[in-house]
Amino acid sequence: MLTLINPPGLKTFSGLNMHTPNPPLGLAYVAGEVRKSGFDLSVIDAVGEDLDRIKPYKARGDLMVQGLSVAEIVSRLHPSTDIVGIACTFSTFWPLAREVAATIREKHPGMRIVLGGEHGTAVPESVLRSSEVDIIVLGEGEETFVRLLRALSTHTPISSIKGIAFIDNGAFWSTGLSVRSRAIDEIALPAWDLFPLENYIDRHQINRGEHRSLNTSFGHTRLATPMHTWLKSTNVDNTIRPS
């Protein structure tokens, strides 16, 4: 069984906030695609499940942590979990994601830990050599993650999967970014029923009803010099549906 984790968030009260807590759209898309492909999964949204808890961050006196503690996250792992997927969208959140991975390894050494998001995509070897992460999904993760789950469930070598990075016998391996999906309307819609959306709505992080904002594009920044960003739009009929 797969458990997807959105780690706690960071806030600062000494300047502009680096993050306004919103439901994790990327993780919701991955959850939707994983479920559509027939895999059992659960979700732990550490931010959304306890938005009101904001406490000092032990590693930085000028920052606060928002959401469940790392210990609480690990305690909520489903007993049948054998693969954990951790999201790390920005490098500022990497210390928290790394702490989650380390605690999972300590408490559940047999679980395989996969990281997704921009930070791992940007510096995969550094992440793998400095943490308990086993595999990194590079770039767009919806289809790559499903291919990885299929390989792991059938004990198939993962080296043939495009879009991942890992360490094997001390050597760093990267299969490069996967081919960008063109048929994005075939990707499952976000599995919002697995996330505590009501908590976000009640605290005005997102709106309910007619005025809720919509994200109709897929984008991924490939880090290079110069930096390039590609955006792809979904079909409007797949975004706006009659109630």
Give pLDDT tens digits for 81-140: 999 999 998 898 999 999 999 999 999 999 999 999 999 999 999 999 999 999 999 998
* Token digits of residue 88: 């790390």
Q: Examine residue 215 and state whether it is found in any structural domain, yes or no.
A: no
Q: Examine residue 223 and state whether it is found in any structural domain, yes or no.
A: no
SS3 assignment, position 218: strand
For the chain, how many structural domains are there in total?
Answer: 1
Q: Examine residue 218 and state whether it is found in any structural domain, yes or no.
A: no
**How far, in Å, CA of 38 to CA of 51, rounded?**
31
**How far, in Å, CA of 222 to CA of 193, rounded?**
31
**How far, in Å, CA of 170 to CA of 178, rounded?**
23
Question: How many other C-beta atoms are found inside a 10 Å radius of the C-beta of residue 117?
Answer: 24
Q: Examine residue 102 and state whether it is found in any structural domain, yes or no.
A: yes
Report pLDDT digits (tens) over 30-84: 999 999 999 999 999 999 999 999 999 888 888 899 999 999 999 999 989 999 9
pLDDT value of position 222 = 35
Q: Examine residue 41 and state whether it is found in any structural domain, yes or no.
A: yes
Q: Examine residue 152 and state whether it is found in any structural domain, yes or no.
A: yes
- Residue pair 216/172 in contact (Cβ under 8 Å)? The answer is no
CATH code for the domain in which residue 178 is found? 3.40.50.280
* Token digits of residue 111: 């679980």
Q: Examine residue 62 and state whether it is found in any structural domain, yes or no.
A: yes
- List the domain range (segments joined by +) for residue 11: 2-205
Q: Examine residue 57 and state whether it is found in any structural domain, yes or no.
A: yes
